Structure 1
Amino acid sequence: MAQVQKGRFTADASSLGDEVVVFLIGMRINKPWKVRAWWPVFVAMPRMLRYLVQHPDKGLLGFEQAFLPSPLLVQYWRSFEDLARFARDRDDPHLEPWRQFNRRIGRSGDVGIWHETYRVSTANIETVYGNMPPHGLAAATASVPVRPGRNSAAARIGATQTDDPAVPGY
């Protein structure tokens, strides 16, 4: 388990260049009693993540996952091109489970899947983590202390030159 960093930290995205891709993907178990329908979908993603962690050249920078109320995964990618290449490459562990889902589940309604993809300018990113281990984008890049003059979200994202937090930082 990662060590808690006491205080307030932010992600240092300077190593990412001009943009990062944030990919949200999840599933919804619409018919819980149909385990044979949703179990293969549920176990496919951990296999893909293990593969991506073992092959950093594929472009995945990091990820966070949650399971309630339904499985959700937030991924940070170096580029959209890396994400698309991984999704379509016959040698990578995504294309075949995608095909199997379409064949086995299709329009049955037993299992829902979704994703959202965001190309984000690194100049438009604001993060803060209080008394947390490195998390999210900070875990995927670098976690650095919040600098003086950057106590408000507006100051951290560059929306204002004035640092006027609603509540003083700690």
Structure 2
Amino acid sequence: MNNGRYTVLPHNDVTVFLIGMRVNKWFAVHKWLPVFLAMPPMMKELMSDKSLGCLSFEMFFKYRGNIVVQYWESNDKLLTYSKMPNHLKAWKKFMKRTQNNDAVGFYHETYNVKAQAYENIYINMPDFGLGKVEQPVKVNKHIHSAKQRLKS
């Protein structure tokens, strides 16, 4: 737990990747659960091998599904991972399971963010999001506001 007000200074570019699913038909568990269960093995792989380029992630659950926010070293690393055997195998299964299956929806979004184009603040939080990627620093008068942090 980091007590007080902390930030992570934006020294490096980062690729933010949002990926998730939406349950469209709750009672069709046999159609959406396999889609949901495809993600954990890939997340385990990404966290066990940092050379793949996934810096950290956060998973959130919503009423109708989930979303995973991933922080990557680069878009190139993300695209390289998308072509790796474990991901391709899961993707092929996923495509087969979602074909003619309106019980589940899927989405992803990718954002490539330059080092000086993001900022963050954490108050009384354990390492979270970008705070898992770089060492959080205590906020001081030079990086007190979002405007100041975006220029640091």
TM-score normalised over the length of structure 1: 0.83
Partner of 1:53: 47
Gaps of 5+ in 1: 160-170
Higher relative contact order (CA 8 A, sep 6+): 2
Partner of 1:67: 61
Show the 5 A alignment for 1:124-163: 124-158=117-151
Partner of 2:81: 86
Deviation at residue 147 of structure 1 after TM alignment: 2.4
Gaps of 5+ in 2: none
- Runs of at least 4 residues of structure 1 off by over 6 A? none
Relative to its length, the structure with more helix (as a share) is 2
Q: Which amino acid aligns with 2:52?
A: K
Moved more, 57-66 or 135-144: 135-144
In the alignment, the residues of structure 2 paired with residue 134 and residue 12 of structure 1 have an alpha-carbon distance, to the nearest angstrom, of: 14
User: How many residues are aligned here?
Assistant: 151
Larger radius of gyration: 1
Deviation at residue 59 of structure 1 after TM alignment: 0.4
In the alignment, the residues of structure 2 paired with residue 89 and residue 125 of structure 1 have an alpha-carbon distance, to the nearest angstrom, of: 29
Q: Which amino acid aligns with 1:12?
A: L
Deviation at residue 146 of structure 1 after TM alignment: 1.2
> Aligned Cα RMSD in Å?
1.5
The structure 1 residue matched to 2:2, chosen from 2, 5, 26, is 5
Q: What is the percent sequence identity of the aligned residues?
A: 38
TM-score normalised over the length of structure 2: 0.93
